[in-house]
Amino acid sequence: MNTKAEQVGGGNSAADIAKLVVAGLVLAGAVFAYYWYNDFPTWQRLLILLGCLIAAGAIGFFTHAGRALRDFLFESNFELRKVVWPTRQETIQTTVVIFFVVVALSLILGLIDFTLKWVVLDLLLKGH
């Protein structure tokens, strides 16, 4: 396992908060522009929206939260390379077993439901 010492503190500084606010304003401006310029073709409005989304992501990338997200994604990718994936045969066999277990449990639960219905409705309520 890839272990790192957790950094105590080191949260959002004033500069990070300002960058996040600017990124939020860029996103809000993009949504506003998308609806305000409704006479533009849709593809142009989507390009403006996409460009502002990329700009806001780039601004947010240079904050503490952005670095933490980048580190998390890199470590997740590192851990994902350690996963041993099942073979096609193992996957098919497991799927078949699960299918038969689901069918068996469905039949058992249906039988229990039918039995309880018969006991309650036919024997107890109509027996009087």
Domain borders along the chain are 14-80, 86-128
- pTM equals 0.52
Burial of 52 (0-12, 13-18, 19+ CB in 10 A): buried
Instruction: Return the closest-CA partner of residue 64 out of 4, 19, 2, 28.
Output: 19
Alpha helices in the chain (DSSP H): 14-36, 42-61, 64-80, 88-117
* pLDDT greater than 90 at residue 123: no
Distance of CA 11 to the CA centre of its chain: 25
Backbone φ and ψ for 94, nearest 5 degrees, come out as -65, -40
pLDDT at 94: 97
What whole-number percentage of the chain has pLDDT above 70? 89
Residues 51-97 have pLDDT tens digits of 999 999 899 888 898 899 899 999 999 999 999 989 999 999 999 99
Answer yes or no: is pLDDT of 113 > 80: yes
